[in-house]
Amino acid sequence: MPVPGVRSSVRSLSPETAVTLSAVGDAVIVFLGLLAGYWLRFQSTVPWGRFLGGAVVADSALLQQRVLSNYLGLILVGAAFLVGTFVYLRLYEARRLLHLRETTLVIVQGATFWLFAYLGISLFLKFEPSISRIYVALSYLCTVGSLLAWRLGLSRLLRRDWFAGRLRQNVVMVGWNREAADLFNAIHRDQRQPYRVTGFIPTPDHDALIPPPNAVRMGDFEHMSEVLDRRTADIVVLCDLELPRDAIIGLANECERKGIHFKLVPSYFQILISGLQLETVSGVPILGVSRLPLDRLTNRTLKRTVDILGALVGLTMAVPIFAILGWLIRRESPGPIFFRQERVGRRGRPFDMLKLRSMKLDADKADHLSQSTLRDDPRVLSIGSFMRRWNLDEVPQFWNVLKGEMSLVGPRPERTFHSEKLSHEIPHYNARLAAKPGITGWAQVNGLRGNTDLSERVRYDLWYLENWSLWLDFQIMAMTFLRRENAY
C-alpha cells in the first residue's frame, strides 16, 4: 500500500496510459463510424440518393460497392487519415485529457478538415470502387457523434477522484511571488488541469508575497535536495528568477539527477507567452517572443480573404437595415444617420470608423469623461439602445473591413486619446495593436465590453492574438449573435 503523500514510481494509471487509451479508443470509434456510414449508405433501405440529391449509381457500380471487402480498403485509408489528422492537431496530449471543451473543438475541427480533404483527394485519385459523397457525409456524422459521446464518457470517468488523482502530476513551486500566486490560483481554480500543487519552497530574502494558508511550505531552499528526496514532486517550477545563476543551475541539475522535470516561469516575458521560442544565433541560444500566428503571410491572406467575402455579404444584406434604421434614427434625432470617429488601428495607425448613430448629436464631445458608454447613458437614443444590444450600430464597419482598416474579428479599436492614456495605465495595452481591430472580438463575446475591467479585456485580446485560427474567428462570429452581455 503506497504511503500517503509519497509519489509512487509505478502508477496504476499514468497520463501516458490514459493518452494511449484515448488514442486506441478513438481509432476503434473512427473505424466503427466509417463502417456505420458504409452500412447506412449501401446496406440500409433508405434512398439516400433521392433525399440528399446524390448521383444515381449504376447497378454494376452499386453492386461492387455493396461488397464490403471491396470498400474495406477505402474505410481503412479514411480511418488512418482521420486519426492522423487528430495526431497532427495534437489531440493526444496529456494536458487535453481533462479538457472536454478543448477536445471537442479539436475533434470537430479535425473531422471537418477530413471531410473536405477526403472528398478532394478522391477527385484526383481514382479509387476503385469510387468513393460515394453520401457515404463520406454519413460517415462524418456517425464518426463525430460517436467520438463526442465516447470522449464525454471518458472525460467523466477520468474526472472521478480516483482517476484524476493518478493523472495529475505533483508540482512544487520554488519561490513565492506574484507569478507563483497566479500559477497556484490557476491550478486550484481549474480542476481540468493535469497538475496538483504539492507545496512551495521559499527562496532566501526574495519572496515578496505572503502565500495563502492552503499553500503548504515543504522546507527551506538550503535543504532542497532533502525535499526532493521525499519523492513528492513530479515537476519543480522555479518562480523566483532573482536567485544567483549558480543556484538556478544547481537546482536544475538536482532535478535532472532525481528524474524530476524542471521548469521556470518566464517572469521577464509577461505578454504573448505562447510565442516564446528559443532561437540560436551562431550557436548562441536566445529566448524571445517569436512570430504570432497573424504574422505569417498565409494566415493573414486567409483572414483577409474571409474579411473581404464577409464584408461584401454584410454590406449587401445591410442595405435594408440602413434604410429602416436610418429612418428611425432621423425620426428620433434629426441629423446624419452615420457617425464617423477616429480610432486607432493596426500598429497605431489612425482611421475613421463608421457606425450608425446611436446617440444624440454631438454626444461624442463628452467621451473624454468616460472610457465607455455607461449603462442607462442619457445620450443614447431609444432606437440606439436597441441597435447597441443587437450590435446593429456596428454594421457600417463592413466598409472599414472592405477597405482593409478593420477585420471581422479582432480587438475592438479605441479612440486616439483613450488609447494614449490607457497605454500608460494598463500594462501591455499596446500589444493589442499587433492586429487589425475587429467588428467583434474574443473579449466582447465573453462579456468584456462597456464599463468592464479594461485589464481583463486586454488579457482576452492578447489571448486571441496568441491563439488565432480561422476556426476561432468563425466561433467568435457565431457567438456574437448569441452573447450580448454588457451590450448597452
pLDDT in tens, 400-420: 999 999 999 999 998 887 788
Say what the pLDDT of residue 375 is: 63
Do 39 and 137 have their domain in common?
A: yes
Do 230 and 97 have their domain in common?
A: no
> Among residues of the chain, what percentage have pLDDT more than 70?
78
Domain assignment of residue 444, yes or no = yes
Do 264 and 409 have their domain in common?
A: no
The number of angstroms, rounded, from the C-alpha of 488 to the middle of its chain's C-alpha atoms is 27
Say what the pLDDT of residue 370 is: 52
Say what the pLDDT of residue 58 is: 46
Identify the CATH number of the domain in which residue 240 sits: 3.40.50.720
Do 108 and 239 have their domain in common?
A: no
- Of 369 and 7, more confident: 369
Residues 466 and 292: their CA atoms lie apart, in Å, by 6
Do 180 and 244 have their domain in common?
A: yes
Do 369 and 402 have their domain in common?
A: yes
Domain assignment of residue 2, yes or no = no
Residues 340 and 342: their CA atoms lie apart, in Å, by 7
Strand partners, 264: 238
Strand partners, 357: none
Domain assignment of residue 400, yes or no = yes
**Most confident by average pLDDT, 164-168, 232-236, 377-381:** 232-236
- Of 113 and 428, more confident: 113
DSSP, res 217: B
Say what the pLDDT of residue 418 is: 77
- Of 1 and 91, more confident: 91
Query: Averaged over 78-95, what is the pLDDT?
Result: 88
Question: Domain end: 248, 268, 288, which one?
Answer: 268
pLDDT of 332 > 80? The answer is yes
pLDDT of 140 > 90? The answer is yes
179 — pLDDT class (breaks 50, 70, 90): confident
Say what the pLDDT of residue 374 is: 61
Which of 381, 382, 342, 386 has its CA nearest to residue 363? 381
Beta pairing class for 338-344 and 284-289: unpaired
Residue with cell 494598463: 426
Do 327 and 388 have their domain in common?
A: yes
pLDDT of 316 > 90? The answer is yes
Query: Averaged over 37-45, what is the pLDDT?
Result: 81
Say what the pLDDT of residue 256 is: 83
**What is the residue type of 78?**
G
Do 155 and 173 have their domain in common?
A: no
pLDDT of 8 > 60? The answer is no
pLDDT of 324 > 70? The answer is yes
Say what the pLDDT of residue 54 is: 47
pLDDT of 269 > 80? The answer is no
Domain assignment of residue 4, yes or no = no
pTM: 0.59
pLDDT of 70 > 50? The answer is yes
Residues 333 and 356: their CA atoms lie apart, in Å, by 12
Query: Averaged over 175-202, what is the pLDDT?
Result: 81
DSSP, res 267: T
| CB half-sphere exposure, 109, CA atoms < 13 A | 20
Say what the pLDDT of residue 5 is: 41
Question: Domain end: 161, 190, 206, which one?
Answer: 161
Domain assignment of residue 288, yes or no = no
Domain assignment of residue 462, yes or no = yes
pLDDT in tens, 15-34: 778 888 899 999 999 999 99
Strand partners, 415: 343
Say what the pLDDT of residue 289 is: 64
Residue 292, helix vs strand vs coil: coil
Say what the pLDDT of residue 127 is: 62
- Annotate 247-276 with three-state secondary structure: HHHHHHHHHHHCCCEEEECCCCCCCCHHHE
**Most confident by average pLDDT, 106-120, 145-159, 304-318, 319-333:** 304-318
**Most confident by average pLDDT, 14-28, 111-125, 143-157, 186-200:** 143-157
End-to-end Cα, the chain, rounded Å: 60
Rounded to the nearest 10 degrees, how much is the dihedral formed by the CA atoms of 383, 387, 388, 389? 100
Can you give the residue range of the structural domain that contains 196?
A: 168-268
Do 411 and 431 have their domain in common?
A: yes
Domain assignment of residue 287, yes or no = no
476 — pLDDT class (breaks 50, 70, 90): very high
Query: Averaged over 301-330, what is the pLDDT?
Result: 92
Other CB atoms within 10 A of residue 418 CB: 18
pLDDT in tens, 42-53: 877 665 555 554
Do 70 and 212 have their domain in common?
A: no
Do 416 and 446 have their domain in common?
A: yes
Query: Averaged over 314-320, what is the pLDDT?
Result: 91
Query: Averaged over 253-275, what is the pLDDT?
Result: 75
All cell numbers assigned to 78: 479514411
363 — pLDDT class (breaks 50, 70, 90): low
* Cβ pair 147, 107 in contact under 8 A: yes
Domain assignment of residue 144, yes or no = yes
**Mean pLDDT across the chain, nearest whole number?**
80
> Among residues of the chain, what percentage have pLDDT more than 90?
21
Do 157 and 183 have their domain in common?
A: no
64 — pLDDT class (breaks 50, 70, 90): very low
343 — pLDDT class (breaks 50, 70, 90): very high
User: How many domains, in total, are found in the chain?
Assistant: 3
128 — pLDDT class (breaks 50, 70, 90): low
All cell numbers assigned to 63: 453492386
Residue 412 phi/psi, 5-degree rounding, is: -70, 140
Question: Domain end: 161, 182, 216, which one?
Answer: 161
Q: Give 346-411 as a DSSP string.
A: GGG-EEEEEEE--B-TTGGGGGGG-SSPPTT-TTB-HHHHHHHHTTGGGTTHHHHHHHTS-EEESP
